[in-house]
Amino acid sequence: MISYVMLVFVLIFILLFFYFVPLGLWIQAVVSLGVGRITIIDLIRMRLRKIAPRLVVDGVINSHKSGLNNITTDMLETHYLAGGAVPNIVSALIAAAKANIPLPFETATAIDLAGRDINAAVETSVNPKVIDAPRDGYLSAVAKDGIELKARARVTVRTNIPGLVGGATDDTIIARVGEGIVSAIGSSSKYQAVLENPDNISRAVLQKGLDAGTAFEILSIDIADLDVGKNVGAKLQTDQAEADLRIAQAEAETRRAMAVAEEQEMIARVQEMRAKVVEAEAEVPMAMSQAFREGKLGVFDYYNMRNIEADTGMRDSIAGSKESDSTSQPGSEEN
| Averaged pLDDT for residues 213-240 | 83
Q: Which of 120, 131, 210, 192 is nearest to 159 (CA)?
A: 120
Better pLDDT: 11 or 46: 46
How far separated are the first and last CA of the chain, in Å rounded?
148
Q: Do 213 and 175 meet the contact criterion of CB atoms below 8 Å apart? A: no
Tens of pLDDT, residues 98-134? 888 888 888 888 888 888 888 888 888 888 888 888 8
Tens of pLDDT, residues 258-284? 999 988 999 998 888 888 888 887 887
Q: Do 134 and 174 meet the contact criterion of CB atoms below 8 Å apart? A: yes
Q: Which of 163, 220, 208 is nearest to 182 (CA)?
A: 208
* 227 band by pLDDT with thresholds 50, 70 and 90: confident
Who contacts 148 (Cβ-Cβ below 8 Å, separation ≥6)?
140, 141, 142, 228, 229, 230, 231, 232
Q: Do 139 and 178 meet the contact criterion of CB atoms below 8 Å apart? A: yes
Name the residue ranges covered by the structural domains of the chain.
Answer: 2-126, 131-234
Contacts 24+ apart (CB under 8 A), 182-187: 182/139, 182/140, 182/141, 185/141, 185/142, 185/143, 185/149, 185/151, 186/141, 186/142, 186/143, 186/144, 187/144
Tell me what pLDDT residue 101 has.
Answer: 84
Please give the distance of CA 8 from its chain centroid, rounded to a whole number: 73
The domain covering 131-234 belongs, at the CATH homologous superfamily level, to Band 7 domain (3.30.479.30)
Q: Say what percent of the chain tops pLDDT 90.
A: 2
Q: Do 138 and 227 meet the contact criterion of CB atoms below 8 Å apart? A: yes
Q: Do 158 and 131 meet the contact criterion of CB atoms below 8 Å apart? A: no
Cα angle value 221/131/184 (rounded, 5°): 35
